Amino acid sequence: MSASVSFLPRQQQLLADEEQQRQRQARQQLRQRQRQRQNSYGPLEVQTESELTNAVDEQASELKVSVDEWCNMWDAYAKDPSSVMDWQNAYMNFMFDLEDASHDGGIDVTEFTLVCSSYGVDKKECEDAFSKMAQGQSDVTREQFAALWKEYFAAEDANAPGNFIFGKTSF
Q: Which residues of 58-67 are buried (b: 16+ CB within 10 A; e: fewer)?
A: eeeeeeebee
pTM for the full predicted model: 0.62
Tell me the pLDDT band of 31, cut-offs 50, 70 and 90.
Answer: low
Angstrom distance (rounded) from CA 134 to CA 129: 8
What is the per-residue pLDDT across 117-165, written as a single tens digit (0 to 9) for each?
A: 998 999 999 999 999 999 999 999 999 999 999 999 888 899 999 999 9
Residue 130's Cβ-count burial label (10 Å; 0-12, 13-18, 19+) is: buried
* Res. 22: pLDDT tops 50: yes
